[in-house]
């Protein structure tokens, strides 16, 4: 898929901007704090329904304004898809797809798929499991929109059980309703676990191949989804989760929260059998993230039969020559937006159309 045009108004420091993109590589340069990441963030919000930097829409709206609007024209194999997103400081996001109002945020999924690679992605290998779960959830939600709905329902059921645990603790009543939420959590959670399990299997193969190439065969990176059961059978997973919830009741009551389930799972990255998080060097961790992102890109392309867009925020210029080459090779047919401080220094192989733009105080200008 290819973004033809993006229009934003009152989004962060972008009062009003209209950008036409090249189907190849787009390089947006500019000094710090000019709005480069803001522009990229506007596209990312259209991909996933939320910012990678904040979950509060109010932060995305230009200071002093009430509403921000993002509109994107995306060219697919089956024609143009129009996304209109209205963000308000109070209330929910307003979504329109091809001019028709969407009832649920999930209807946004799939109209613009994106892979984002930013400096914070190092947290994927360095920090706790929440970062890796988010990576899996965001990727799967874009590839399989139904996954997003199951995830939302699971999170609602989880919030209900947690609220109930606190009520029981405080008021000593309500325990008879616990099984209702546990049955729901088990059914929904099992679907998440099965999807993640299958996805991790495919991802691991891709990651191993890509990482092998990046390191000239010196390192073997593998992935494993760590959850409470190794089973891939939804019915078995549901049973395992239900039992774990029942067994954990006393403990959860004391904690006032649910301590078992897919919201606690992890994705373990290992290099030669050792956990990258604990044992990987800085360089190995960086390369592992790049492998993960390139694998995500390849899988999204395979599973949706259309390449997503690639958003590279301040990372391209940080890569060494061999990793840059590898990245350039991998993004052959992929529309890419690169942000950097000095656009003129971005050397490309010359075979693809490159569009240079500059960001100055929230205004997009032509040229490097």
Ligand X SMILES: Nc1ncnc2c1ncn2[C@@H]1O[C@H](COP(=O)(O)OP(=O)(O)O)[C@@H](O)[C@H]1O
Compute the distance between CA of residue 105 and CA of residue 48 in angstroms, rounded to an integer.
9
Residue 362 — left, alpha, or beta (φ > 0 → left; ψ -120 to 50 → alpha)?
Answer: left
Q: How far is CA 164 from CA 42, 96, 238, 332, 355, in A?
A: 37, 36, 21, 52, 55
Shortest Cβ 86–Mg ion spacing (Å): 24
Q: Is 113 in the site for Mg ion (CB under 5 A)?
A: no
CB of 50 to ligand X, least distance (A): 15
Q: Which of residues 68-97 bind ligand X (CB under 6 A)?
A: none
Place of tokens 């230009």: 62
Which positions from 286 to 325 touch ligand X by CB under 6 A, shown as an x/- string?
A: ----------------------------------------
- Please work out the total of residues on this chain that contact ligand X, with binding judged by CB under 6 A: 15
Map the footprint of ligand X across residues 347-366, applying CB under 6 A.
359
- Contact region for Mg ion (CB under 5 A) — 29-37, 121-129, 183-191, 250-258? 29-37
**Cβ atoms of residues 67 and 61 within 8 Å:** yes
Cβ 36 to Mg ion, closest distance in Å? 5
Name which of 265, 194, 204 is nearest 233 in CA terms.
Answer: 194
Stretch that binds ligand X, among 28-36, 236-244, 250-258, 348-356 (CB under 6 A): 28-36
Binding mask 32-71 vs ligand X (x if CB under 6 A, - otherwise)? xxxxxxx--------------------x-xxx--------
Which of 9, 13, 89, 229 forms a contact with ligand X (CB under 6 A)? Answer: 13
Binding residues for Mg ion restricted to 33-92, rule: CB under 5 A:
36-37
CA distances from 215 to 119, 209, 346, 349 (A): 20, 10, 23, 21
Binding partner of residue 12 among Mg ion, ligand X, none, CB under 5 to 8 Å per kind? ligand X
N residues, the chain: 368
Give me the least distance between CB of 37 and ligand X, in Å please.
3
Which residue number has the CB closest to Mg ion? 37
The answer for residues whose C-beta is within 8 angstroms of residue 347's C-beta and 6 or more apart is none
32 binds, among Mg ion, ligand X, none (CB under 5 to 8 A by kind): ligand X
Q: Counting contacts by CB under 6 A, is residue 277 touching ligand X?
A: no
Long-range contacts (CB closer than 8 Å, 24 or more residues apart) made by 304-308: 304/110, 304/113, 304/142, 304/143, 305/77, 306/1, 306/76, 306/77, 306/113, 307/1, 307/333, 307/334, 307/335, 308/1, 308/47, 308/113, 308/114, 308/115, 308/142, 308/334
Given ligand X, Mg ion, none, residue 34, with its beta carbon under 5 to 8 Å by kind, binds ligand X
The conformation of residue 26, written as its DSSP 8-state character, comes to E
30 binds, among Mg ion, ligand X, none (CB under 5 to 8 A by kind): ligand X
Site size toward Mg ion (CB under 5 A) is: 2
- Residue 220, token pair as written in the block: 């073997």
d(C-alpha 65, C-alpha 233), whole Å: 50
Site for ligand X, rule CB under 6 A:
12-13, 30, 32-38, 59, 61-63, 359
Please report, as ranges, the residues that interact with Mg ion according to CB under 5 A: 36-37
């Amino acid at each position: 898929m290819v973004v033809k045009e993006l229009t934003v108004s009152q989004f962060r420091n972008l009062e009003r901007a209209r950008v036409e993109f090249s189907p190849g590589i787009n390089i947006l340069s500019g000094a710090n704090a000019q709005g480069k990441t803001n522009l990229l963030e506007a596209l990312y919000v259209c991909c996933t329904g939320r910012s990678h930097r904040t979950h509060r829409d109010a932060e995305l709206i230009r200071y002093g304004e009430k509403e921000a609007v993002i509109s994107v024209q995306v060219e697919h194999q089956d024609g143009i898809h129009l996304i209109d997103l209205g963000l308000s400081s109070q209330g929910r996001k307003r979504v329109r797809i091809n001019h028709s109002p969407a009832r649920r945020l999930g209807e946004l999924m799939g109209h613009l798929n994106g892979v984002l690679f930013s400096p914070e992605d190092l947290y994927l290998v360095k920090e706790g499991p929440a970062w890796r779960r988010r990576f899996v959830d965001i990727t799967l939600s874009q590839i399989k929109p139904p996954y997003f709905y199951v995830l939302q329902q699971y999170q609602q059921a989880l919030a209900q059980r947690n609220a109930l645990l606190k009520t029981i603790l405080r008021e000593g009543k309500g325990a008879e309703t616990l099984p209702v939420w546990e049955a729901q959590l088990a059914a929904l959670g099992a679907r998440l676990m099965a999807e993640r399990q299958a996805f991790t299997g495919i991802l691991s193969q891709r990651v191993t191949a890509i990482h092998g190439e990046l390191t000239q065969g010196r390192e073997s990176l593998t992935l494993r989804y760590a959850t409470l059961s190794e089973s891939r059978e939804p019915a078995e997973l549901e049973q395992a989760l239900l039992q774990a919830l029942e067994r954990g009741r006393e403990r959860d009551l004391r904690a006032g929260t649910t301590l078992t389930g897919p919201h606690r799972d992890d994705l373990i990255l290992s290099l030669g059998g050792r956990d990258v998080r604990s044992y990987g060097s800085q360089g190995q961790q960086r390369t592992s993230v790049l492998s993960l992102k390139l694998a995500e890109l390849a899988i999204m392309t395979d599973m949706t039969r259309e390449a997503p867009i690639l958003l590279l925020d301040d990372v391209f210029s940080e890569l060494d020559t061999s990793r840059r080459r590898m990245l350039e090779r991998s993004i052959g047919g992929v529309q890419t937006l690169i942000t950097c401080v000095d656009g003129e220094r971005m050397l490309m192989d010359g075979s693809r159309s490159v569009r240079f733009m500059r960001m100055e105080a929230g205004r997009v200008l032509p040229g490097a």
